[in-house]
């Protein structure tokens, strides 16, 4: 068993009540429940703040890129991490770019369709 240490914090009564209800529904001790919450939080933080998607709803997209481009991306991620104080992951960066490009393309397609209908 891993070595443990006590962690105490004053929280509001409302938050305490929510935690007690959720802990009870999960059938866990307070220590187990808080450990699970903190573990999930840090996993999500490592994942760029994005909650991991269930495996049955994801697809893998893999491709190779030029080393110079890869180094530029790494440098950008480091700069953004320093600037914001929050780690920007490759996954978060690439997904953000893809979503931005798709949003712009869909917007342009809607505008073109609307112009055609006039």
Cβ neighbours of 97 (radius 10 Å) = 10
Whole-angstrom CA distances from 103 to 47, 58, 96, 99, 115 are 23, 20, 10, 6, 18
Residues 6+ apart with CB under 8 A from 91: 47, 48, 50
**CATH architecture of the region 1-46:** Orthogonal Bundle (1.10)
Q: What is the pLDDT of residues 31-74, one digit of tens each?
A: 988 998 998 888 888 776 665 555 567 777 888 999 999 999 99
Record the pTM. 0.51
> Where do the domains of the chain lie?
1-46, 67-117
């Amino acid at each position: 068993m891993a070595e443990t240490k006590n962690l105490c914090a004053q929280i509001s009564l409302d938050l305490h009540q929510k935690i007690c209800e959720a802990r009870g529904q999960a059938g866990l001790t307070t220590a187990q429940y808080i450990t699970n919450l903190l573990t999930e939080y840090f996993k999500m933080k490592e994942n760029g703040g994005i909650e991991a998607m269930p495996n049955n709803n994801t697809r893998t997209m893999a491709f190779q890129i030029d080393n110079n481009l890869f180094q530029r991306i790494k440098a950008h991620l480091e700069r953004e991490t320093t600037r914001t104080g929050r780690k920007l992951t490759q996954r978060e960066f690439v997904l953000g770019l893809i979503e931005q490009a798709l949003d712009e393309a869909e917007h342009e397609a809607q505008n073109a369709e609307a112009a055609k209908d006039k």
